[in-house]
Structures are given as C-alpha cells and as structure tokens.
Chain A
Amino acid sequence: MTEKYEAVIIGGGVNGLGTAYHLGKKGFTDVLVLDKSYLGYGASGRNGGGIRQQWTSEDNIKLARESRKMFERLDDELEEDLEFYQGGYLVLSFHEEEAAEFKENVKLQNKLGVDSKFLSPEEAKEIVPELDISDVVAATFNQSDGTIYPFKVIHGYADRVREIGIDIKEHTEVTDIVTQGDEIKKVKTSEGNIKTDTVINAAGGWSSKVAEMAGAEIPNVPVRHEIMVTEPYKRFLDPMVISFEHGIYFSQSEHGNIVGGIGNPDEEPGLNQKGSLWFLKNFSDTLLDFIPRFSGVHMIRQWAGFYDTTPDAQPILGSVPEIERFYQVNGFSGHGFMVSPMVDKVTAELILGEQPSMDIERLRVERFEDMDLEEEGGVVG
C-alpha cells in the first residue's frame, strides 16, 4: 500500500518532532514523522539535557538565546512538567590563555543579549562550594542556562503533535529516497512506500546516510560520546559545570541524579554505541579532581550516543542545492537539543516559504563550498 503525505520527517528525535510541532501549529498537518526505532532512540534520548547560551559563534549564541526563551514557555505549551531547572552553567578555565578568550566570549554574549559573567575562581567556588579551585584560573557563569529532562520534551512534543493530527510511525526504517531530476518522488521504508515531495532530514547520527539515499552530500560524521548517571541525591549542585580543556560536563537533574560525560579526544568516527572502560576511569578521575567529595557517590549506569559532527561544529539547516524540498536539520555536533526550539521554528518557516524568524544563510550546507568557516569553539564532552 502506498501512502501519501505533504511532508515526511525522518527522525523522531527532538528536532524531527519539534519541526512537526511548528508545522502543525501553523495548520500544516499532512505530515508523517518516521523513526527507525522508538522516539528519542538517538542523541535526543542519550544527551545530558544541558541548555546553554554561552557559545562562541554569533549564530549559536542567537539560536541558543531564542531557544532558551522558548524552553521557558514550553511547559505551558506542551502541558507537561519538563523539569527545566535554570541553575546556570559554570564554565571553568585552567589556563590564562583560555581565560583571555573567555573574556572575549562574554563580551560577544553580552552584546547579543546573553547575561553571562566573567568570574574569579573564588566567585566560582561561591556557586559550587565543593569545587576544588586550586588549578582554576577563571570561570564564566550564566544564570539562565540550565538542564531539562530530554524524555519529557520528546514525549511532550509527540503527544501534542499527535493531537494536532500529525502521524508518527516508530520502528519504521527509511531504506531509500526516490528522486526524479531534482524532485523527490517517494520515500521507501521497511513498512512500505510513501509518496511525498518534501523530506526533512532530522536523522542525527544517521543524517549523512539519509542524505546519501537522496543523492545529496552533507559532510556530517557521527562520533560516539559516553555519559553516565549516579543515584539520585537531594539537590546540592545548582549549575552545570563544564571545562573545554578537560572535556567534562556534569550537573544534577531535577530528579537528583548527577548526569555527566567526558569526551575522548582519540574517539574514532563511526556508529558505535557501546560503553567503554576508558570512559569509566577517565570520567571518575576528572570528576574527583573537580569535586573530591564525589568519591563516595555511586554511579549506576553509563551509555553512549552520537555527536553528529560537522567540520565547523555548527548545524546544517535549510534546503540543499542538489534537490528541491530536501531540508536538513542535522549536524548539531553535540548541541542539538539546546538549540532545537528556534531551529525547528525556522525550519518550519522555510518549509512553508515564510520569512524565517532568524537568518540562517550561514548555516546552509553550501558554506562548506564557498565560505570561510567560523568554527564553534565551545563544544564539550
């Protein structure tokens, strides 16, 4: 049986569902969301839930700033307690050179309306009294950053999207995207064919594979990142604490668990989602350097997901030159959740041919051909 939809969204993560939500809000409901597994199987259900506006590139700062404002209203919109806790992000620096860059970052963030502050080590310790600041040189802090519970957001979006009348099919894998000339004709799946002329590629770590099916090229490469969670405790840690140099991030969720990860600089690209001993050891070592009092805290679970990475660590948005109506919402390089509200709103506007709320010209895939890249320097984990 061949079904027909005006648009097919590939990927039931936060950006696929968020784009469906914004399309639906505008009355465009003849849409199908597909996921090869369950909703949130990819990075949307595997990330640390961080919502940060302290970025180094103008585009990311603006996307994150607008998204944070939208997250503040999302509980009411989705009628769901999303456990958004604005305890801030404390970014630590251990070298003078990096601290000097932090000063510049704060200037840019302030100019763009993000209220971040440059702090001394002692001021950082006031925010997290358990912190060992003996090697800390400086820090930045932004109170309106925070954390959210990713599954609540995913399930909240899914419920609203279904109510609006948009279809969601889980356990349905896309196997091919059939084109004729530069037009999309249909999407082939494990459960049958779907006629459509509009496809949104929100497939996270699998995005470059999906683009290839349509005959388009995007430079995304999936890289494994590991993460862990502890037993829940009464709140004692307010902000998310991160360090670019050590690649570590950790925060305490509204539920009470410490959630954190650390990046392995030697990680080979690929679709590997297994946990490693390297992670257990290195995360524990670094965490105890930061907060020695964590030594008796129990880790209960570790897992892994992908950063869908691009050469400049910035997302790929908008249509592609090769094919009409093939929209990209991918390449988030580890920060797709926190910018998703604004990204998804703009993507819906582009699909409907409306004037986008934010200029995303510099985030189109063409930038890799003909523009100087501005690399995002604020990636962690």
Chain B
Amino acid sequence: MTTVVCRCEDLTEEDIVEAIEEGYDELETLKRHLRLGMGPCQGKACLLLARRILRRETGKDVEEMKEPTARPPSRPVPFSLLASPDEGGEDDD
C-alpha cells in the first residue's frame, strides 16, 4: 500500500525513507532534496508526518529536530492582493 505524505509535491512514505537512507537525515535537507513542504500548503501536513518517519528511521529525538522556518505568507496569496491598488492590470477571476 502506498502512503502519500506530501500531497503538493506527490511524495510517498517510500520516497522519504529512501531519501533518509541516502543521507538526508534532517528535516532541513529532506525538505530541500525532495521539495517536501515547499508546495502550496507549505508543509502544514507533511512536515509533521515526515518528522515521525525521520524519528522511526533514525531514532533521532523529535525535540532535537530543528523545524524548517515557517515563511510568509502562511497561505498562497495572489500578487494582486499584495500590490498597490492602482498597480497592475486585469484580475484573473
């Protein structure tokens, strides 16, 4: 059975275990190697799951694992909302 861990980047549990075995054994490098948590949800679901897999595979203490920095904006925002009202052209709706 295949377990999808990261829906944005289409990563399975198997992909993550494989990457850990290749030496990407911390969340920061796992993220950058697989683009885990770099999709539209920004890791809200997958990073917690990946942390559990990492603990299971490496025996590392979860408390010691550094979380990747949460980056703004916390959810996807269209450029039209960020730009000045008088800037930019048509809306895409």
Chain A residues near B (Cβ < 8 Å): 37-41, 45, 132, 151, 154-155, 229, 231-232, 255, 275, 280-281, 283-285, 287-289, 292-303
State whether B84 touches A299 (Cβ < 8 A): no
Q: Which residue of A lies closest to B84 (CB)?
A: A285
How far is B71's CA from A151's CA once the two chains are assembled, in angstroms? 18
The listed residue with most B CB atoms (<10 A of its CB), out of A275, A293, A296, A300, is A300
Interface majority SS on B: helix, strand, loop or mixed? Answer: loop
State whether B78 touches A288 (Cβ < 8 A): no
**Besides A38-B26, A299-B79, A300-B42, 12 new A-B residue pairs in contact (Cβ under 8 A), listed by A number:** A39-B29, A151-B32, A155-B24, A255-B35, A280-B82, A284-B82, A285-B87, A288-B87, A295-B90, A296-B80, A298-B76, A299-B82
Cβ-based interface call for B92 (8 A): yes
How far is B33's CA from A303's CA once the two chains are assembled, in angstroms? 18
- Given A296-B91, A299-B77, A301-B42, the answer on whether A281 and B82 have CB atoms closer than 8 Å is yes
Q: Which residue of B lies closest to A296 (CB)?
A: B92
- Given A288-B88, A302-B72, the answer on whether A294 and B29 have CB atoms closer than 8 Å is no
| Interface residue from A41, A280, A292, A296 paired with B72 (Cβ < 8 Å) | A280
Chain B residues near A (Cβ < 8 Å): 24, 26, 28-29, 32-33, 35, 38-40, 42, 69, 71-73, 76-80, 82-84, 87-93
State whether A295 touches B89 (Cβ < 8 A): yes
Distance between B18 CB and nearest chain A CB, rounded to angstroms:
14
How far is B40's CA from A38's CA once the two chains are assembled, in angstroms? 24
State whether B33 touches A292 (Cβ < 8 A): no
State whether A293 touches B29 (Cβ < 8 A): no
How far is B92's CA from A285's CA once the two chains are assembled, in angstroms? 16
- Chain B residues, CB < 8 A from A294: 79, 88
Q: Which residue of B lies closest to A37 (CB)?
A: B28
Q: Which residue of A lies closest to B24 (CB)?
A: A155
- Chain B residues, CB < 8 A from A280: 72-73, 82
- Chain B residues, CB < 8 A from A303: 69, 71
How far is B79's CA from A301's CA once the two chains are assembled, in angstroms? 12
How far is B89's CA from A284's CA once the two chains are assembled, in angstroms? 12
How far is B81's CA from A283's CA once the two chains are assembled, in angstroms? 12
| Interface residue from B24, B76, B80 paired with A231 (Cβ < 8 Å) | B76
State whether A151 touches B33 (Cβ < 8 A): yes
- Given A40-B32, A45-B32, the answer on whether A288 and B89 have CB atoms closer than 8 Å is yes
How far is B71's CA from A155's CA once the two chains are assembled, in angstroms? 23
- Chain A residues, CB < 8 A from B91: 295-296
- Chain A residues, CB < 8 A from B42: 300-301
How far is B41's CA from A298's CA once the two chains are assembled, in angstroms? 12
